[in-house]
Structure 1
């Protein structure tokens, strides 16, 4: 199937429809079409998965310690439980408990959980969420493509949780963002060429072309000074990301695809309210583009895609997008549910 043109990106909501990317959504426990006996083979993702589960158990214990004083945090705790189920569907998530550190008892993460539970403050929980989100990104290179995609999504969710808990500290990048240098590194461009990943980056570039066009429409309909400033900031970020993908593609020997003359909008934009919805729509769809990009590119390039995913998830939140436990993953992992914005 031929991918839709960039001109229809805003209407369809997705630019990445190729089978090479959708194949990354299969569960990491067993490859699609593999013999039934393959489930007895060692899971190469087990060390990464175990570290992610231990960190998630520590988060759950911290939430359980704080919930008696702050029951309004229950939805965030439920998100973390969904993360655990997605990371390991074979092991049930700990149930909420009012006992300090109860859900971490007997697990490798018990020490960290008990420490978090000993000081049940919202600020401490926000810090733990952000630290855990950063730790997940450290394992991107060691994970299989499907697990890397999941880790990047869960990491973005953790940053959103930290923001919801009042953490205003800037999120650390998994690697230098592509827009911060005049050209991509030699290792990045070489792997882009050798690994045959020009097509996924062309898709990302096309998505950014569409976002730049969309924010031009958004800014023209906003009347509030604060929102107009936010729109200009978002537009500048997408222009920088667009330029970065162009440099990366050119550096790998590919010719960056140009922007279309215009793009079809997903719905009429006639006032400030619909302009805000368009901004949320643009950012939400970009999280899907970048979650898929994490799984589609070579391991040295995954941090670039994960950073872009996190930034779009944050902007989608700022524009009022519906909350989700798995930013960028519309086909929610088994045992979870993800609202569609």
Structure 2
């Protein structure tokens, strides 16, 4: 077999450890039209941020209402507080309060910002099931603002939405996750992945926006995932894991095919799969196969979080859906929890991703 080409390694960024896939994954973001330190002009994202923060305050108040009876929910509450701090970048950083349990900037004991109004009064949430439903509803509502947000904020909203679905699942919600609503300019029949019926309109927006490259990156990542799950399926022994591997393989094949249709419709030549891919570590048994599956899905969350920020607004919903699905599968395969799926995380109390 010929040695893998340079393109093989570049296409399989998600399988290689240690490197950032794109510059926007690790670098802080700000309004590109505003000089650093210039706060004289209004933030165009302010209405979106305020809606997101208000929804987060309601969530935090709900957690606080339930925590006395369910203290085991504190870690989830801390993640939600970190979401608030990331969404509300204008909130001043107070001295950490012992009441919050988080040290998260901008959050009080009830999760509200300093000076918050009565509109964020805590609802009555008597059960974890009610809280799970609220998490899922809030996660879905965040996606409604994808088209109105700047690219960095859209990326953060998609990540926080995925985290909310993970919280709902952790709280016992088994309801299927709804696909993100398409942007007004997208076909009304858009679903979790671009279908054949929506490829034409999607391809037109890709061609007009000159954004084929990000979709080529996503296609390359899906090629790699399909290859990786072939390895996973050959090593797992438990029937439940085999079923999960087959399901994940089918999902990645479908999304690979969707990106190929989209690119072809835009007049671009879809990048082919490489003959082989370098794995991040040896996969010799069921345990290492499970770690590989979790690694694949974690790296795909990065690919799709970046895709949300890189494509026209009409194509943000399918990218956000792909991010959510990979985050769910990563957790299913035992990946460590993260407050910001697809975005470089920071330890609690030391900072938050900045859109």
TM-score normalised per structure 1: 0.84
How many angstroms does 1:7 deviate by? Answer: 6.3
1:119 aligns with 2:125: yes
Q: In structure 2, what is the Cα distance between the partners aligned to 1:117 and 1:227?
A: 39
Note the alpha carbon deviations across 1:134-188, whole angstroms, 9 max, x for none: 0100000000000000000000000000000000000000047999889958997
Alignment partners' CA distance in 2, 1:99 and 1:280: 33
| Residue 34 (structure 1) shift | 4.7
- Write the distance in 2 (CA, Å) between the matches of 1:44 and 1:281: 36
Whole-Å separation in 1 of the counterparts to 2:354 and 2:153: 22
Report the 3-state secondary structure (helix = DSSP H, G, I; strand = E; otherwise coil) of the residue aligned with 1:20.
coil
User: Displacement of 1:217 after TM fit?
Assistant: 0.3
Q: In 2, Cα distance between the equivalents of 1:250 and 1:266?
A: 31
CA gap 1:94/1:337 in 2 versus in 1, 3 angstroms: closer
Whole-angstrom distance in 2 between the partners of 1:67 and 1:340: 28
Whole-Å separation in 2 of the counterparts to 1:339 and 1:46 = 17
Q: What RMSD in Å do the two structures reach over aligned CA positions?
A: 5.1
TM-score by length of 2: 0.81
Q: 1:293 to 1:59 in 2, by over 3 A?
A: same
Report the CA distance shift for 1:177/1:321 in structure 2 as closer, same or farther (over 3 A).
Answer: farther
Question: 309-318 vs 31-40, which deviates more?
Answer: 31-40
Aligned-pair CA distance for 1:35: 2.9
**Cα distance change, pair 85–331 in 1 and its aligned pair in 2 (3 A):** same
Preserved CA contact (<8 Å) 1:21 1:296:
no
> What is the distance in 1 between the residues matched to 2:300 and 2:242?
20
Q: Report the more deviating stretch, 227-236 or 115-124.
A: 115-124
The structural deviation recorded for 1:81 is 0.7
Distance 1:142 1:150, change over 3 A: same
Q: 1:208 to 1:3 in 2, by over 3 A?
A: farther
Instruction: Return the alpha-carbon distance in structure 2 between the equivalents of residues 40 and 296 of structure 1.
Output: 27
- Worse overlay, 196-205 or 109-118: 109-118
Report if aligned partners of 2:180, 2:192 keep a CA contact under 8 Å in 1: no
Residue 101 of structure 1 deviates from its aligned partner by 12
Number of aligned residue pairs: give it: 340
Of 7-16 and 33-42, the range deviating more from structure 2: 7-16
Distance between the aligned counterparts of 1:61 and 1:163, measured in 2?
19
Work out whether residues 4 and 15 of structure 1, in 8 Å CA contact, stay in contact via their aligned partners in 2.
Answer: no
Q: Are 2:79 and 1:79 equivalent residues in the alignment?
A: yes
**Cα drift, residue 88 of structure 1:** 1.3
For residues 98 and 27 of structure 1, the distance between their equivalents in structure 2, rounded to whole angstroms, comes to 20
Distance 2:261 2:18 in 1: 23
